[in-house]
Amino acid sequence: MGLSWKERVFIALLGIAAASGLTMLILILVKATDVFLPADTKFGIVFDAGSSHTSLFVYQWPANKEKDTGVVSQALTCQIEGPGIASYTSDPTQAGESLKGCLEEALALIPQTQHQETPTFLGATAGMRLLSQKNSSQARDILAAVSQTLSNSPVDFWGAKILAGQDEGAFGWITINYVLGMLLKYSSGQWILPEERTLVGALDLGGASTQISFAPQGPILDQSTQATFRLYGANYSIYTHSYLCFGRDQVLTRLLAKLAQNSSLVRHPCYHSGYLATLPLAPLHESPCVHTTDSLNLTQNLTVEGIGNPGECVAALRSLFNFSSCEDQEDCAFNGVYQPPVHGQFYAFSNFYYTFDFLNLTSRQPLHIVNDTVWKFCQKPWKLRETRGKARWVPGLGRKTLW
């Protein structure tokens, strides 16, 4: 059965929101919706429910459209306190309660006369995709809880859904090209389609999944990896793929579980020298991304010792990727996944940006400077300093610890 226009619009919008939370989330909504708001400005609310945290975004756009698509700007962003909604399996109602603070902030910004006409969405990404695989009833309970909270608020709630990975990747591509002015630009008092433009690719590293999306030069041979859409009077066809279990948090979990296969003492090459911690083994194997054998004793604890060896760290991380399955194939990435030859410049965001920003590498430094900085940082010792009785981050010496 085909989706209705409202369902298609809904899924598309949530994909954009989850991809990067920039400025483009209501493009297709303002093309298709028949919600009547005052002529000057309309508003929309999107909750981006990621694997590690949830963010709220308020968007606004003028009533007039350009080539049947809205020109959108971001009016507010608000970080929800607490973890991602997939963490509330033991008490789903708290997933809904966690949204209220930011929702109140959004409603304070939007004129009260427009509250009931403000379309509101919640889109969940890879964290909830993993939970749905592991325990579908828990995932449904969490979605029901957040839906109840938002349904009881004075907005036009359109629903809460778990996004497909392809949607997340495709609309990340739209977002970055929109923000860079590749899809539309303002010139001589009007919005026009840029005559000379170079579409860029998108790399999105989340907590549980990572996405790659770009417009290849040649045909896309695997139709399941193709996304097509029409924006501002132009048609687009891109390649996009989402790798579940290859987000930052899940990769680190998978790596630790692999290193702990044969011993309760893990000498971790990716952790700073001087780091030492004891933690239970069982939580590592709660994720569907981690393979568990029957012979494994999940009741034991792990002792994790950092050795700060970047060369061994790279080798350990590479072992999580199956490159041999793509050997001598130009249209293959890893793990046997089809991918046409990459083309054009790429922009990396989400956890790519957070990491590079921490290392002061966001000023277009050349690759050899980036590699040298990362290599030297990984060889720094782990050190903690007490500040007001709480352990805190010491820049350049170690990763953040709990306050």
Q: Establish if 343 belongs to a structural domain.
A: no
Please check the confidence at residue 10 and state whether its pLDDT lies above 80.
Answer: no
Domain CATH number, residue 289: 3.30.420.150
Q: Establish if 122 belongs to a structural domain.
A: yes
Q: Which residues of 355-392 are buried (b: 16+ CB within 10 A; e: fewer)?
A: ebeebeeeeeeeeeeeeeebeebbeeebeeeeeeeeee
The pLDDT value recorded for residue 37 is: 38
Give the distance, in angstroms, between the CA of residue 96 and the centroid of all CA atoms in the same chain: 20
- Last-in-domain residue among 201, 216, 244: 244
Q: Are 36 and 117 in contact (CB under 8 A)?
A: yes
Q: Comparing C-alpha atoms, which of 211, 121, 228, 230 is closest to residue 164? A: 211
- Last-in-domain residue among 211, 227, 244: 244
30-41 mean pLDDT: 45
Domain count within the chain: 2
What range defines the domain where residue 114 resides? 5-244
Q: What is the largest CA-CA distance in the chain?
A: 70
Examine the domain organization and report whether 218 and 310 are in the same domain.
no
157-168 mean pLDDT: 93
Q: Establish if 66 belongs to a structural domain.
A: yes
Examine the domain organization and report whether 239 and 251 are in the same domain.
no
pLDDT in tens, 231-285: 888 899 999 999 999 999 999 999 999 999 888 899 999 999 999 999 998 888 8
Examine the domain organization and report whether 296 and 235 are in the same domain.
no
Domain CATH number, residue 113: 3.30.420.40
Examine the domain organization and report whether 101 and 167 are in the same domain.
yes
E strands, 181-259, are 185-187, 190-192, 201-205, 209-214, 226-231, 234-244
The token pair at 165 is 């990975």
The pLDDT value recorded for residue 384 is: 54
User: Which among 97, 168, 286, 327 is annotated as catalytic?
Assistant: 168
What angle (nearest 5°) sits at the alpha carbon of residue 231, between those of residues 77 and 5?
Answer: 85
Q: Establish if 92 belongs to a structural domain.
A: yes
376-398 mean pLDDT: 57
Examine the domain organization and report whether 218 and 305 are in the same domain.
no
Q: Establish if 333 belongs to a structural domain.
A: no
Q: Establish if 236 belongs to a structural domain.
A: yes
Q: Establish if 334 belongs to a structural domain.
A: no
Q: Are 243 and 390 in contact (CB under 8 A)?
A: no
Examine the domain organization and report whether 27 and 161 are in the same domain.
yes
Q: Establish if 336 belongs to a structural domain.
A: no
Of 208 and 298, more confident: 208
Q: Comparing C-alpha atoms, which of 75, 47, 46, 48 is closest to residue 61? A: 75
- In percent, the amount of the chain with pLDDT more than 70 equals 82
The CA radius of gyration of the chain, in Å to the nearest whole number, is: 23
How many angstroms separate the CA atoms of 175 and 19, rounded? 8
Specify whether 168 is catalytic.
Answer: yes
The token pair at 53 is 């945290």
Examine the domain organization and report whether 203 and 302 are in the same domain.
no
How many angstroms separate the CA atoms of 214 and 176, rounded? 11
The pLDDT value recorded for residue 283 is: 86
User: What's the whole-model pTM score?
Assistant: 0.80
Examine the domain organization and report whether 172 and 314 are in the same domain.
no
Examine the domain organization and report whether 227 and 282 are in the same domain.
no
Of 391 and 82, more confident: 82
The pLDDT value recorded for residue 199 is: 93
- Last-in-domain residue among 203, 220, 244: 244
Examine the domain organization and report whether 223 and 260 are in the same domain.
no
Examine the domain organization and report whether 172 and 32 are in the same domain.
yes
Q: What is the DSSP string of 83-117?
A: S-GGG-SS-THHHHHTTHHHHHHHHHHS-GGGGGG
Examine the domain organization and report whether 169 and 277 are in the same domain.
no
Q: How far apart are the first and last CA of the chain?
A: 51
SS (H, E, C) 350-368: EHHHHHHHHCCCCCCCCHH
